[in-house]
Amino acid sequence: MFCLLLLFQAHTLFAQWETVFFTEAGGIYAASSELEKPTDFMEVGEYSPMNLFDDSLETSWVEGEAGPGTGSYILIGQQGELKKYMMINNGYQKSESLFLKNNRVKDFKLSLYSGFTSDMRAGQTGFEADILQIAEPVNFTLKDEMGIQPFGMPFETAEVEALRDSELTRYTSAHAEEPGIQEFLILKFEIASVYKGSLWDDTCIAGISFSNRSRENCLLPKEQITEVKNSSDDQKILLLTSENRELLLVDAKTLAIEKGYTAEGEFLTFTLLDVSPDNLWAVISEEHGFTSGGHIEETSHLWSLARMKEVPPALLEAYNAMPLGFRIRSGTLYLETYEGTFVRLGDLNVDMMSGRW
């Protein structure tokens, strides 16, 4: 009930539109500032906000304000549904020394916006969008430590979706002349206070990501996947790791409920077809049908194991690719497809870093 009040109160309190240009490179984002930002808008700086989404602890976004950067913020665009968890790697985590010499975030505010753009507002490096705040800021405190820190998303999903639908209808009606209107969510991460660095007065964040997985079922920094396997009943796909942990990648029972496959005798199973030599990708077959017989629907899916996330079907459709397995050609790892084509996994990896997928 508390989250519902936050959303609806904010909807009336913050009914003021802003126009923002979002960069689309590695993610969808707009930052208030950036340390040593290049003057060439096509160039990516060493401390770019893009570093938040590169799955590396060797890089960081560093704000560029004078002083500790209190009030600096990053707007992060999110396609699809609002995820349950936000994961933050605080500070500059390339080394313990750099972590301590630079500022780290102590307190931050998280706000929720609804954003709208259209085909005619796209640019070379991103797009312009109109955004509207739809929820009161919620305050959080980060620990002064290296490693990943998880936070539950404080906004009520059902009410967020209702507001999104309402605003999309209103916005589309008011901008009927614009073709291809698209709606997306935006999370605003604002620095409220910092842990002071011993040498520099610059505040750093190594990474921000969003997931429906709890921390206990996510890969830890530098944790490696050593094996991927089916459970004995074909109901689960499991990952074994260098930390002697067993992580759940796919659970057929949970997905069957999400997909509405709950009729008597209806089943959903998963079979591991192939794993890439580096243990970073897997092709998984999904079978859906009824124990009474009849047609069994079988589809093939590609998973990014490092992200513990399925490669979006729309992305594979853009490549006209149905996953079959993996092949190394001239030292480069490719996805082999049923169409007889080969797709560089490095290209898919870059595409997945984009917020569009």
Considering only CA atoms, which of 309, 300, 301 is closest in space to residue 247?
Answer: 309
Cα 133 to Cα 16: distance, rounded to the nearest angstrom: 8
Residue 3 pLDDT class (50, 70, 90 cuts):
very low
- Domain boundaries of the chain, sorted by first residue: 2-217, 225-353
Considering only CA atoms, which of 268, 286, 353, 354 is closest in space to residue 323?
Answer: 286
The mean of the pLDDT values for the chain is 90
Least confident of 41-45, 104-108, 216-220, 328-332: 216-220
Considering only CA atoms, which of 5, 15, 9, 13 is closest in space to residue 132?
Answer: 15
Residue 7 pLDDT class (50, 70, 90 cuts):
low
Residue 207 pLDDT class (50, 70, 90 cuts):
very high
- The full length of the chain comes to 357
pLDDT in tens, 43-100: 889 999 999 988 788 899 999 999 999 999 999 998 888 888 999 999 999 999 999 9
- Give the per-residue pLDDT at 150: 87
- Give the per-residue pLDDT at 56: 81
- What is the distance of C-alpha 178 from the center of its chain? 28
Cα 50 to Cα 47: distance, rounded to the nearest angstrom: 8
Q: Is the pLDDT of residue 221 over 80?
A: no
Residue 319 pLDDT class (50, 70, 90 cuts):
very high
- Give the per-residue pLDDT at 14: 54
Query: Hey, what CATH topology would domain 2-217 get?
Result: Jelly Rolls (2.60.120)
Considering only CA atoms, which of 5, 195, 239, 14 is closest in space to residue 105?
Answer: 195
* Bridge partners, residue 20, by sequence: 129
The pLDDT > 90 percentage for the chain reads 65
- Give the per-residue pLDDT at 229: 95
Encode 283-324 in three state secondary structure: EEEEEEEECCCCCCEEEEEEEECCCCEECCHHHHHHCCCCEE
**DSSP type of residue 263:** S
Which residue has better confidence, 221 or 168?
168
Q: Is the pLDDT of residue 162 over 80?
A: yes
Segment 331-342 mean pLDDT? 96
Cα–Cα–Cα angle for 96, 98, 101, rounded to 5 degrees: 110
Cα 287 to Cα 41: distance, rounded to the nearest angstrom: 47
The pLDDT > 70 percentage for the chain reads 94
Segment 99-116 mean pLDDT? 97
Segment 148-166 mean pLDDT? 87
**CB neighbour burial string for 103-141, b if at least 16 within 10 angstroms, e if fewer:** bbbbebbbbbbbbbbbeebeeeebbebbbbbbbbbbebe
Q: Is the pLDDT of residue 331 over 90?
A: yes
H or E element at residue 13: helix 2-13
Which residue has better confidence, 7 or 284?
284
Cα 202 to Cα 72: distance, rounded to the nearest angstrom: 11
Q: Is the pLDDT of residue 159 over 90?
A: no
Segment 254-269 mean pLDDT? 88
- Those residues whose C-beta lies under 8 Å from the C-beta of residue 97, and which sit 6 or more positions away, are none
Going by their DSSP bridges, the two strands 182-195 and 103-117 should be labelled as antiparallel
Cα 357 to Cα 355: distance, rounded to the nearest angstrom: 5
SS3 category, 244: coil
Q: Is the pLDDT of residue 13 over 50?
A: no
- Give the per-residue pLDDT at 41: 81
Considering only CA atoms, which of 115, 90, 129, 92 is closest in space to residue 208?
Answer: 90
Cα 289 to Cα 62: distance, rounded to the nearest angstrom: 51
Instruction: Count CB-CB contacts under 10 A for residue 63.
Output: 27
Segment 18-27 mean pLDDT? 90
